[in-house]
Amino acid sequence: MAASATSGVFLTNASSLCFRKTDSSKRSSLRTRAVSELGFVTSQLSGIKISCNQCDVIGALSAPLTPRIQPIVARRICPFTGKKANRANKVSFSNHKTKKLQFVNLQYKRIWWEAGKRYVKLRLSTKALKTIEKNGLDAVAKKAGIDLRKE
């Protein structure tokens, strides 16, 4: 169709448009022959799969579908009160404001659970600890919808 400055040729098919270099060296001819026999080439660096159809035209790039792995990190939220980090400004002497997070005062505590006749290790805020001392562990856990039998 049209030639470009990088010594290549645009190839058009009924449904696709792609660019293929026209090089007469043995290395590229062996590679294109191997590509036409296999039907795809996998990059060793990033795992990108380059596929081509029957007329040796390179199609769209498709990355392999892998689920993102999330690191297991304890969230900074109290399960009993629902308290979480507050977004605030840090104000300097020159009144320059920068954003910062004020985290909840979460503590790991072993609390005696009377109904289960055992200790339960919980990560809770100091406000929830005061509420548990006032109302009892069963009442606070029931109100928050937490099942203590799991832990």
Q: What is the pTM of this model?
A: 0.49
Q: What is the dihedral of CA 78, 81, 84, 86, to 10 degrees?
A: -140
The domain locations on the chain are 8-62, 86-150
- Given a contact cutoff of 8 angstroms between Cβ atoms, the answer to whether 66 and 85 are in contact is no
What span, in angstroms and rounded, lies between the C-alpha atoms of 18 and 55? 12
Radius of gyration of the chain (CA): 31
The more confident residue out of 59 and 87 is 87
What span, in angstroms and rounded, lies between the C-alpha atoms of 36 and 52? 8
Return the CATH architecture of domain 86-150: Roll (2.30)
For residue 57, pLDDT beyond 50: no
- Given a contact cutoff of 8 angstroms between Cβ atoms, the answer to whether 92 and 108 are in contact is no
- Structure confidence by residue, pLDDT tens digits, 95-143: 999 999 999 999 999 999 999 999 999 999 999 999 999 999 999 999 9
